[in-house]
Amino acid sequence: MSFRILCAIAILAIAGCASRQEAPSASGTVALTDATSSGSESSNVDDSFISSAAIEAEEKLKAVEPSIYFDYDKFAIKDNYQNTISAFAEYLRTHPSAKLRIEGNCDERGTIEYNLALGQKRAEAVSSALQIVGVSLSRIETLSNGEEMPRNQVKSEAGYSANRRADLIIIR
């Protein structure tokens, strides 16, 4: 083959590699991006959609109790806390730099070691529930306070039940 034909084939091959790809934006419209571009062009993502979703997630988070309460000597999450789990998961989805610390707590009944272990199980139960709805484990830290951080000092069932909880704390 002649040199001109080889050059023409090479040029066609290179031109064929510079295809255009469709990148869907958050607003549902499709923006075309050139696969050979340097990436220095501005994004076509609708920032108002992102900020309104973030604001909505913040409002949902404000509407729920940031603690999940447990029965005596249990770490199973009751069904009525699904809104709390969902609100925190949505907040974390719309705030990618935020993380969550879950602190497990117990009432004073039981040994220190037992309560530390139970508090950790409570924190990990909440962590697992969040992971099920899509929150990455890398964005969650768990710890147990055992009986060391009581919310209520009264030695009654009402006081004890206020202390059997997992507190969800956003870390910005």
Is residue 117 exposed (0-12), middle (13-18) or buried (19+ Cβ within 10 Å)?
middle
Domain positions in the chain are: 20-52, 64-171
Mean pLDDT value across the chain: 81
Instruction: Collapse the DSSP code of 154 into the 3-class scheme (helix H, G, I; strand E, B; otherwise coil) and give the result.
Output: coil
Name the class of domain 64-171.
alpha beta
Q: pLDDT tens-digit profile of 110-160?
A: 999 999 999 999 999 999 999 999 999 999 999 999 999 999 999 999 999
pTM of the predicted model, to two decimals? 0.70
- The predicted-structure confidence for 84-97, as pLDDT tens digits, reads as follows 999 999 999 999 99
Q: DSSP for 89-111?
A: HHHHHH-TT-EEEEEEE--S-S-
In this predicted structure, what is the pLDDT of residue 47?
Answer: 54
